[in-house]
Amino acid sequence: MEEKNQHEGISLVDIIRLLFKKLWLLIIVTIIGGVLGGTYAIRKTEDINYFGTKVEFYVNPEKTKDGTTVVGNSQYGIYGAYGSHIMDTMTKRLNSDVFAEYLLLDGEELPAKDHWAGGEAGETLNAAIDAASGYVVQKQEAQAAVDAAILAQTQKKTAYDSCYQTVSVEWSKLLIQGLTTSATFDEAEYYRENLQGKNPALDIAITAWNQARYDLTDAQANVLAANTALGVAERAAEGPINTVLSLWRQTSKYKSALSSIKGATDFSFMDASVTVDDVNKLARSFIYAKISVLNNQPYANDVLRRVLNGVPSFVEKYMFIPEGYDTTNCVLNTTVNDIHLTNPGYTTNQAIKTGLLLGGMFFVIACVVLILLDRADKRLRDYEALAARIDVPVLGVIPSIPFSDAKHHARGQAEEHAEKMAQQAEKENAKKEDE
Amino acid sequence: MGWFSNLRISFHDWRARRNSQKNRSHRTEYLLNKNTPFTVTEAFRSLKASLSVSLPKRDGGVALMVTSAYPEDGKTTVTTNLALMFAQSDAKVLLLDADIRKGRVARYFKRKSTPGLSDYLSGQNTLEEVIHRSHINENLDYLTCGTHSPRPYELLESVEMTDLVKLLKTKYDYIIIDTPPVLLLSDALAIAPDTDGTVLVCRHEVSYVNDIVRALNVLEFSKVNVLGVVVNDHKKSKSGKYYGGYRKKYYYYRSYDYTYGSTDPNKKDDEPTK
């Protein structure tokens, strides 16, 4: 028999019809996939709880440590042309290992003893810590001396300024201009030769001013000396501290602790364009700290405490100081929210996502399987295609006989047969009677 | 690969049996009646008309063989109702059950299959004893398969069979012969040379296209005059695509709802519809 080779194309309409025919199956398969996906996601994520919070720090490079605000728009300030770069650099440092280590030290110069290593390594570390502790104490004392000297200097400066004001008032009464705060040699000479004794108040004020000047000079010298001593102490402590840090960094606990604390924190800032608008200026002035810890709320609380303590001092210590400013000032800006669960509903969301994803995959696979099965099904379905293929005519197409009709027919046939038998019996009886 | 073919045949047989068992009442031997849907009746009428044209015209009767690829394709139902449809057009028709192994034509007429064809061919009964008039239509006679024989092929291939067919052609306008499946048994090929044409019955969504093709190849190789194919048990589907032309026809037929048995389209049946 001549069989025509026919290329069976795939019709999209046929595919859609096929899939629609098996819609119930696709729905069931999709539901099964969704349920399986959801169940799997619930099992995987039911123990995933993130604890954390967000904190804002306000950074103002134009405010000195003594609280005096210096007005300026230096290009090196946060509001200046390089402000974005400065903040970017700062947040990168906060996200680096340097700050993570700073947090681990928790405000101390040296790590805690008997915590980071055991055995021989622990003993070596402890010995190094002991050796460096004395230097650290000296350094701290030197720093305290510097702080005290600075405070004294500040006080002396205040007194000096006050005396100067008094001298200025009295001096101006004599209608003499040009008095400077530094009281040059010529001016001092001029006073001594020409003015001494002419105004008792002026004499007293100048005497007090001279004394204040000497005190201020002494205080400045003390600050200088204290700073020098601090420098010496710092240089002396540098070696032992570096030894301790070097040993500390080699311990495995250090690495895991560093990794943990680094993973638990994230710092950023908002890069706003530089305009004279205060809002934009303020936007760039914030450093945002995000804390997030998996399944360990106490640790999250500890990290928060370290961040609150560490960020201001670190920023003030390392941030680029604009020209003409003493130091950067960094303060906590907002009320700190307690550590709380940051992913409520995470399990549900994941279950829904995974369920939808898996349900969708099952649906697609089911569609593909149905289409493949349909293509593989070589039973007679399209008689026109059959006729075209085999080149033999289809003489007739007999529809499927309805079920109810077949049943009805069976009953009807039985009744008909009984009726005919009765008629036949009647005829035979009649025949017999005739005979 | 013989075991694979056997497996496939068994599977096909099982599935066909299962499919037919699903609508168990379809296994009741169905004959066209006044309750038959118009579309079914018209389908048979249309088939009859196609065959009337296809069958070669000659003096005397015409022998038409009906076969299928595998069992449970509805071959006997189609054969019996086709014979009934021929009989309705006032032609003298004999329905001959040549499936000596598993003939079922007798059941359609609520009769035993013996005595029948095999008894006649083996000389145990006369022709008058084995041919019966149907109670449905006086133009329709039937000859059942007869006693089961261990040599059915030989009986069908015998000279007696050839002579019988020749004799029947002198008495009847149409001899519709129901034969076993051609891919399972060769009985149909034994009787084919005595016939004027062959029709292959296949079942929608049950018969495999490859099996149909193979059956046609077998028939053509045996130089059988294949008139065409009949698709049986065609299911109406919502999709519509596979049954494209049929669906349109069905729509038109519904608007011409002629009842069964009426020759005059304007005259309705006297008997009330049950």
Higher pLDDT, A156 or B110: A156
Contact (CB, 8 A) for A328 and A93: no
**Mean residue pLDDT across chain B:** 80
- Side by side, which strands form the sheet with B93-97? A394-399, B226-234, B197-203, B62-68, B174-178, B93-97, B140-143, B131-133
pLDDT at B244: 41
Tokens describing residue B269: 């049946």
Pair type for strands B93-97 and A340-341: unpaired
Task: Give the Cα-Cα-Cα angle B43, B182, A410 (nearest 5 degrees).
Answer: 45
> Which residues on B lie below 8 Å from A3 (Cβ)?
213
pLDDT of B53 > 50? The answer is yes
Inter-chain residue contact A399 with B43, CB threshold 8 Å:
yes
Q: Which amino acid, one-letter code, is at A249?
A: R
Closest partner residue to A379 (CB to CB) among B208, B241, B246 is B208
Inter-chain residue contact B25 with A381, CB threshold 8 Å:
no
Contact (CB, 8 A) for A83 and A287: no
pLDDT at A176: 60
Portion 374-433 of A in contact with B at CB < 8 A? 378-384, 386-387, 389-390, 392-403, 405-410, 412-413, 417, 420
Closest partner residue to B35 (CB to CB) among A381, A395, A412 is A412
CA distance linking residue A216 with residue A159, whole number of Å: 9
Pair type for strands A50-60 and A265-269: unpaired
- Dihedral sign, CA of A180, A184, A187, A191? positive
Task: Give Rg (Cα) of chain B.
Answer: 19
Q: How confident is the model at residue B164 (pLDDT cuts 50, 70, 90)?
A: very high
B103 Cβ contact partners less than 8 Å away, ≥ 6 residues apart: B97, B113, B116, B117, B144, B145, B146, B178
pLDDT at B264: 39
Tokens describing residue A382: 């399209």
B150 Cβ contact partners less than 8 Å away, ≥ 6 residues apart: none
pLDDT at A426: 76
Q: How confident is the model at residue B28 (pLDDT cuts 50, 70, 90)?
A: low
pLDDT at A209: 85
| Residue-wise burial string across A96-133, b where 16 or more C-beta atoms lie within 10 A, e elsewhere | eeebbbbbbeeeebbbeeeebbeeeebeebbebbeebb
User: Which residues of chain A fall below pLDDT 70?
Assistant: 1-10, 61-83, 174-189, 192, 271-284, 320-329, 402-419, 435
Q: Which amino acid, one-letter code, is at B120?
A: Y
**DSSP calls for B41-79:** HHHHHHHHHHHHHHSPP-SS-EEEEEEESSSSSSHHHHH
pLDDT tens per residue, range B124-139:
999 999 999 988 889 9
> Which residues on A lie below 8 Å from B28 (Cβ)?
406-407, 409-410, 413
State the virtual CA torsion across A305, A307, A310, A314 in degrees, nearest 10.
-170
Which three-class secondary structure string do you get for A127-139? HHHHHHHHHHHHH
Reading phi first (left if > 0) and then psi (alpha if -120 to 50, else beta), residue A194 is in alpha
Q: How confident is the model at residue B10 (pLDDT cuts 50, 70, 90)?
A: low
pLDDT at A230: 92
